[in-house]
Every structure is written in structure tokens, then in C-alpha cells.
């Protein structure tokens, strides 16, 4: 009898029975290598400019992860394809068509999922094609299941159908692309306004530190670390030497420097003191009244416990849908 992942695996980031779940490095290193298979992605790893935050799901072709894009400063979806040749070819076709659709303006272009970046990553199971997408909500099948297969309200069906047809019409007429596998799994719902908007920069940095501390550094990584430390030390010494030289030159010249503010204070000290006091009060009032930056979750537990919009709250007024590959 062969074991298979449980039903919660596509959503759970730490399910122990899922071979693609985020498990500690000590456990993941014991996994049997599978050439041509999935890449063992770990939370906290950095892929190009994307830091892995948590698992979103997986399928026959790939695994999908929620990530923080350091360059764009936003949440993204990282798709890591299997490394076998036919999966790589399918991914390259997908990238070609998505890039073509992204470069072609027209009505309905916003109804096709947007590819932000693509690159290759080498791992123990081969070289994997990675794609970075805009973050999206669950697929249409999840909405069907949320209604217990008893049918989605007709007004929502009409709106989703309208948007899907707009995307297909754009692909056909503007890009000469045919979607060959239109099904509920390949129609993604657009996220609500408060989804995927949290700033995960702090959480991403903490996860990187944790992942770096739990994994031994290779010889090349240690060498690069030493070189960086040497450069930083040398630069700091040069800056200190320049500062000492500038201070010595100023002392030797014996010339005192005065700012316009000091000159004004010398002429009328009472007026200057009153002005400075008023400026201090205004700065303090502005600091109190200024809006504070909204911070994102500080841990995976806090991120997973954040309330997410229910599919039951989807209406014809707020529903959004986009078509996803395969495209040919």
C-alpha cells in the first residue's frame, strides 16, 4: 500500500504526511532524491528576489508558494516546476505565451493572470523552471465546493462567465492563443482588497535568518562571507581615516565655521529661542498626528491566524476571475 498526502495538503504549510510540506532541514535532508521530480523548497529560502513565506498548494506539475518580492516590495506567488524535460518544456511554453499576452494591450488583458518574472533554479533533483505570478485567490473549483456542489448563484455565474469570456476573447483575437484546458481549476478568483496586501518584509527577514542558521554553509558561501567582511572592514577603515584627516585639516586651518542659524541667534537670541521652541512643538505635534505604518504579521502563526474573506461572501458585485495556463 502506498501512502498519499492527506486532503489538507494543498493548503497546510506544515502537514507532516505531505512530502512537499515545509519541514525542518534535518528532516527534509533525509528525503529520497527524485531526479526529474519536485524541488525541496524550504521556508526562508531566497529564489532570485523572492523569499519563500509559506506553501499555497501543489499539483502534478509543480508546487506553489507565497513569497515576498524584495525588488517589487509585494507578495507574490512562486511556482516551482518539476525538473523533468517534458515539464520544463511545458513551463517554457507557458512563459512564452504569458509574456506575449502581457506585452499585448487590449480589452480583456486584465482577465489573464499576470507573469511577473521567470528564471531557472538548480537543486538536488535537477534544474527547475520557476515563475513568479501576481497573487491570486482560490480557483473556481474551491467556490463550487464551498456551495457543496449544489450550484453557485446565477448572478455570480454570469459575472464569472463574462470575465472568463473576456479573457479568452483577448487571447484569441489579440494574441492568437488558444486555451486548450478550460476547467474550474484553471480559473482563479481575484483576491479581495485586503488580501495579500500585508507588508511581509520583517517576517521574510526573520525566516531568512532562521533558515540560514539551520543550514550549514558551503565552502563557497563561507569564502564569499569572508570576502564581504574584509571589504566591509577595509571600507570602514578608509572612512575613519578620511574623517580623521578632515578633522586635522580643520584644526590646522584654525577657521571657525558658523551656520546661518548661529548667526541669527547671536543677533537676536530671544527671537531665535522662541522660534526654535515653536518649531519643536510643531514637530512633536506632527509626529503625534502622523499615521503609523501598518506592519505585517511577525510570525507564520500570526499570518495563518489572520482572518481571510470567506468564499461564502463572494457576490456578483465583488467577484473577479482570471484564466490561467495551459495556453497553446
CB 62 within 8 A of CB 83: no
Lowest mean pLDDT among 63-67, 87-91, 280-284: 280-284
What pLDDT sits at residue 229?
75
Residue 62 CB burial class (10 angstroms; 0-12, 13-18, ≥19): buried
State the Cα–Cα distance between residues 145 and 151, nearest whole angstrom. 9
What size, in residues, is the chain?
328
Terminal Cα distance for the chain, rounded:
38
Query: And the C-alpha cell for 269?
Result: 537670541
pTM for this prediction? 0.64
Average pLDDT estimate for 293-316? 66
For the chain, which domains are there? 25-217+301-323 (1.10.510.10)
Q: What percent of the chain is predicted at pLDDT more than 90?
A: 39
Q: Pick from 26-30, 199-203, 215-219, 323-327 the range whose average pLDDT is largest.
A: 199-203
Which sequence positions are flagged as catalytic? 181
Q: Is a pLDDT exceeding 80 seen at residue 129? A: yes
Amino acid at each position: 500500500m502506498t501512502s498519499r498526502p492527506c486532503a489538507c495538503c494543498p493548503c497546510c504549510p506544515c502537514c507532516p504526511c505531505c512530502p512537499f510540506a515545509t519541514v525542518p532541514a534535518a528532516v527534509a535532508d533525509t528525503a529520497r532524491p527524485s531526479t526529474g521530480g519536485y524541488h525541496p523548497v524550504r521556508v526562508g529560502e531566497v529564489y532570485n528576489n523572492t523569499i519563500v513565506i509559506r506553501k499555497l498548494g501543489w499539483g502534478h506539475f509543480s508546487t506553489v508558494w507565497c513569497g515576498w518580492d524584495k525588488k517589487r516590495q509585494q507578495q507574490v506567488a512562486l511556482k516551482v516546476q518539476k525538473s523533468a524535460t517534458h515539464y520544463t518544456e511545458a513551463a517554457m511554453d507557458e512563459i512564452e505565451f504569458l509574456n506575449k499576452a502581457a506585452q499585448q494591450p487590449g480589452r480583456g488583458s486584465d482577465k489573464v493572470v499576470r507573469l511577473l518574472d521567470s528564471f531557472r533554479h538548480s537543486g538536488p533533483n535537477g534544474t527547475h523552471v520557476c515563475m513568479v505570478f501576481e497573487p491570486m485567490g482560490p480557483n473556481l473549483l474551491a467556490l463550487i465546493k464551498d456551495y457543496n456542489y449544489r450550484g453557485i448563484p446565477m448572478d455570480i455565474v454570469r459575472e464569472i462567465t463574462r470575465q472568463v469570456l473576456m479573457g479568452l476573447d483577448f487571447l484569441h483575437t489579440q494574441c492568437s492563443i488558444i486555451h486548450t484546458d478550460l476547467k474550474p481549476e484553471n480559473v482563479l478568483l481575484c483576491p479581495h482588497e485586503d488580501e495579500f496586501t500585508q507588508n511581509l518584509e520583517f517576517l521574510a527577514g526573520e525566516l531568512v535568518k532562521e533558515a540560514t542558521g539551520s543550514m550549514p554553509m558551503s565552502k563557497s558561501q563561507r569564502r564569499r562571507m569572508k570576502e564581504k567582511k574584509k571589504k566591509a572592514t577595509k571600507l570602514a577603515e578608509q572612512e575613519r581615516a578620511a574623517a580623521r584627516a578632515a578633522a586635522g585639516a580643520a584644526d590646522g586651518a584654525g577657521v571657525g565655521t558658523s551656520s546661518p542659524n548661529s548667526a541669527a541667534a547671536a543677533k537676536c537670541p530671544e527671537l531665535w529661542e522662541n522660534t526654535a521652541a515653536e518649531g519643536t512643538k510643531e514637530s512633536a505635534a506632527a509626529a503625534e498626528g502622523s499615521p503609523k505604518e501598518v506592519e505585517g504579521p511577525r510570525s507564520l502563526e500570526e499570518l495563518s491566524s489572520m482572518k481571510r474573506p470567506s468564499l461564502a461572501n463572494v457576490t456578483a458585485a465583488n467577484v473577479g476571475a482570471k484564466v490561467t495556463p495551459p495556453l497553446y
